[in-house]
Structure 1
């Protein structure tokens, strides 16, 4: 005999209110605090990792800085080294939390620091572009002791750091805090 199959009627997820438990105000606060702690810990880990990656990458340029075969190779290697150090500096000084409007007092020192950081970022981008152009001009048949493909490392590191920094700052739990009191007493 064929097996008997019982079918259940389809229900939309919002129709099943009896399965959902509401959180009271204290549970909401605890959950938001737990999520904030997890986010802070993860951001701190990523901050350390993405600061150390450009610092480790400087090893690729150190031999050619100390034993360059020409002045041009020495200069390009020094630019690559300084670009990687600036990238690590950019990641190190980036904030771990998103800037909440109106929460941070604007001082002259903060404004100067922000201008310095944007100038370093702009200069670093220009150096990365110069190194990419040098890679295409030098070519693979050069007599340099450094491989020209290494000139692309600073630009790749800068792009990765900027992407990681924006991703870290995109997580903002303040929207959860705003929703928390809408359902107060639930």
Structure 2
């Protein structure tokens, strides 16, 4: 007697089935665990990359120290060291506020979920989209804690937070203008003792400072409590 083989036709799951599986498969504890894991991983990776990038301003600052013994290079080396230390201070002690996640077009009503499961109203089903938007210091923005600065008073820390970036930019411009006035080759300007190094380091630090912003998961947390209330 020939055996019969039952075959099931393979089909790709629809988007609505994936959304229903996520909504029905994650309870409150799973959501809280997921948010906590994402926040911890993002904070630890940001701290790691920040510490690694500190080598960019600190190593050239150490290489400038032997140039302090010569009168011809002492003044320019002191200004370069101050600029590099200011870049390191800005990178580590003055991180930018967290990036806020904005959740738009969220539909979590049970009637919409029922229509998606029944295959009706495909044209009216809404998709979730997340957009990372940078927020400044405003009343709606979350409180952002900066690392404490040792051996410096709160008044001095506030002054550094306000003026260290424009002061460093002024030093970089002055160093670059001095390099142009000397009319040396470009290759000498980007070596230790060159006038372009402070500006280059500050540019990289300011770019990395923007990219290494932690993610604020407060909007997702509020969305979780809102869905819990409904």
Q: TM-score, normalised by structure 2?
A: 0.61
Mark the CA change 1:16 to 1:81 in structure 2 (over 3 Å): closer, same or farther.
Answer: closer
Partners of 2:164 and 2:20 in 1: how far apart? 56
Unaligned 5+ runs, structure 1: 1-5, 142-146
Among 41, 45, 58, the residue aligned to 1:42: 45
Equivalent-residue separation in structure 2 for 1:95 and 1:171 (angstroms) = 12
Match of 1:124 in 2: 168
CA-to-partner distance for each residue in 1:110-146, whole Å, 9 max, x for gaps? 67633322212211110011111112111226xxxxx
Q: Whose helix proportion is higher, 1 or 2? A: 1
Q: Distance in 2 between matches of 1:180 and 1:66?
A: 62
- Say which structure is richer in strand: 2
Structure 2 residue 222 is matched with structure 1 residue 181: no
The partner residue of 2:210 within 154, 159, 166 is: 166
d(CA) in 1 for partners of 2:210, 2:57? 17
For 2:201, what is the secondary structure of its paired residue? helix
| Matched positions, count | 170
In structure 1, C-alpha distance between the alignment counterparts of 2:48 and 2:210, rounded to whole Å:
15
- Residue 157 of structure 1: aligned partner: 201
Note the aligned Cα RMSD (angstroms). Answer: 3.3
Normalised to the residue count of structure 1, the TM-score between the two structures is 0.73
